[in-house]
């Protein structure tokens, strides 16, 4: 994106494809981790399914290109003309087929990310192919004028659309964050022009150039093709290339183009990091190579994630054996190699409980367990327990259970108690975790109204 990128985008994808090959995810022999490469091998397909696929392919190939474009029509106008055909010829030439094979392989990781974001934001799914024209699906792509990431944001535009750029992070390289920003720009442009191809054109050259081209066309509601002669040269090529690429990759089997397979890590988990921590510690906890974390998280500039409770950072990790998450949890909470000093005692505590009222909350974009807990005046640890959440990862659209009510009157509970002497650096959350109770119980047992504790305090630990 966006504005004043003086590069030949049609060649940019091919150049980046070569560069990206030098920075692909290491082979499992280098990672010493579980190979969860879902596309590392092609499973056998039943003969009947093969026959059906061949029949569908034959039916498509019997249609003209214009008829095939008509079949692809969804929300973005899938126009077909000689400008588009020129790029179809370019993309399907023998020397470009390896590039397309590589794009298909990479798309198995990136396209599901785009599809989730676009579904949430209301952007046409077929715009996902635009990222290939922009960057060849390389999150580290940087143009000669500084446009960066899979959606090629310039610095000023990125900040305008809410992307963080500082000494620790450049969210232009984050496929998720950058996709939200690209979606916001394109939706805004579509609302202004009422035409997806004009919105896409403005993504390349800016609204100013599109507005001037509209004025010069003399039409009140022109199509892209009406204003094409008045646009910058790059944009005149940009939209036809996008349409051609969408067509070719949708129908890649017509040219015998298959996804390039390899050790792409497709099965991942997302966790929220709410304190500064090094990637090396996380890599050690999960028993993965740090390069895998760096490649899954290209936005981080250093080997440190500068997370905080107020502004947690998202980290994508390979999906590993569940037992590894115990080590990860300990690393994230500073529990490794620490002894829990608890003096056991026993005593009966009689309390009674009010009825518990359940409610549900649908997670919105940007929310974390911390912000949701604060909103409903509950504890994060309780929220995790109610919803069987082991880490901190939540996703937009997820339904969370919220329980209201507290122990107050009516039912006797028999509990054992212990005590814990607060040490410097301790938090209520860490102490509760160490002792297998919730923060709510810990605060209630000690009449703590906020989250403040001090070194030397003696806390009662009530355990069922």
Q: What is the mean pLDDT of each run of 10 residues along the chain (464 residues)?
A: 46 34 30 28 42 63 87 93 96 93 94 96 97 96 94 94 91 97 96 97 96 96 97 97 97 92 78 88 92 94 86 89 80 52 31 52 85 81 76 79 51 46 78 74 80 77 59
How far apart, in whole angstroms, are the C-alpha atoms of residue 401 and residue 294? Answer: 34
State the Cα–Cα distance between residues 270 and 273, nearest whole angstrom. 10
Q: Which of 429, 424, 430 is nearest to 454 (CA)?
A: 424
Helix (H) or strand (E) holding 193: helix 175-193
Domains of the chain: 9-255 (1.10.530.10), 268-338 (no CATH), 357-463 (3.10.350.10)
Nearest to 127 by CA among 115, 143, 109: 115
Q: Which residue in this structure is represented by tokens 């060849």?
A: 136
Provide the pLDDT for residue 30: 31
What pLDDT score was predicted for residue 393? 79
Both tokens assigned to 423? 């040490």
Q: So what's the pLDDT on residue 32? A: 27
H helices within 287-376, ranges in order?
290-296, 324-332, 369-376
Q: What integer pLDDT is reported at residue 394 of this predicted model?
A: 84
């Amino acid at each position: 994106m966006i504005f004043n990128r003086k590069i030949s985008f049609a060649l940019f994808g091919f150049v980046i494809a070569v560069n990206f090959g030098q920075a692909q995810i290491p082979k499992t022999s280098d990672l010493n981790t579980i190979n969860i490469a879902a596309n590392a091998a092609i499973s056998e397909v039943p003969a009947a399914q093969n026959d059906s696929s061949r029949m569908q392919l034959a039916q498509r190939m019997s249609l003209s290109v214009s008829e095939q474009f008509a079949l692809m029509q969804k929300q973005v106008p899938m126009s077909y003309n000689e400008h588009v055909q020129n790029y179809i010829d370019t993309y399907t030439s023998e020397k470009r087929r390896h590039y397309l094979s590589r794009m298909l392989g990479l798309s198995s990781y990136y396209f599901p990310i785009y599809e989730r974001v676009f579904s949430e934001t209301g952007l046409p799914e077929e715009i996902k192919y635009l990222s290939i024209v922009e960057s060849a699906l390389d999150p580290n792509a940087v143009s000669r004028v500084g446009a960066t990431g899979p959606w090629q944001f310039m610095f000023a535009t990125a900040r305008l659309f809410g992307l963080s750029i500082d000494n620790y992070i450049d969210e232009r390289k984050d496929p998720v964050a950058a996709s939200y920003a690209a979606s916001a720009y394109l939706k805004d442009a579509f609302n202004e022009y009422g035409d997806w191809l004009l919105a896409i054109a403005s993504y390349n050259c800016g609204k100013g150039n599109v507005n001037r081209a509209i004025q010069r066309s003399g039409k009140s509601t022109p199509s892209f093709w009406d204003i094409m002669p008045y646009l910058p040269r790059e944009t005149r090529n940009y939209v036809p290339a996008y349409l051609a690429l969408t067509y070719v990759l949708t129908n890649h089997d017509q040219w015998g183009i298959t996804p390039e397979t390899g050790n792409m890590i497709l099965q991942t988990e997302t966790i929220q990091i709410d304190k500064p921590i090094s990637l090396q510690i996380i890599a050690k906890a999960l028993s993965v190579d740090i390069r895998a974390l760096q490649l899954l998280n290209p936005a981080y500039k250093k080997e440190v994630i500068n997370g905080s409770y107020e502004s947690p950072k998202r980290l994508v990790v390979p999906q590993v054996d569940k037992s590894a998450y115990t080590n990860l949890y300990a690393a994230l909470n500073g529990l490794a190699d620490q002894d829990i000093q608890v003096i056991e005692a026993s005593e009966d505590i009689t309390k009674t409980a009010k009825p518990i009222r359940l409610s549900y909350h649908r997670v919105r974009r940007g929310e974390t367990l911390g912000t949701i807990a604060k909103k409903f005046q509950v504890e994060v640890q309780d929220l995790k327990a109610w919803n069987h959440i082991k880490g901190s990862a939540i996703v937009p659209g997820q339904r969370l259970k919220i329980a209201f009510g507290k122990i107050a009157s009516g039912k006797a509970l028999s509990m054992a108690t212990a005590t814990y002497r607060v040490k410097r650096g301790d938090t209520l959350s860490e102490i509760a975790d160490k002792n297998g109770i919730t923060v709510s119980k810990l605060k209630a047992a000690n009449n703590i109204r906020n989250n403040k504790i001090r070194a030397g305090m003696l806390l009662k630990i009530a355990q069922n």
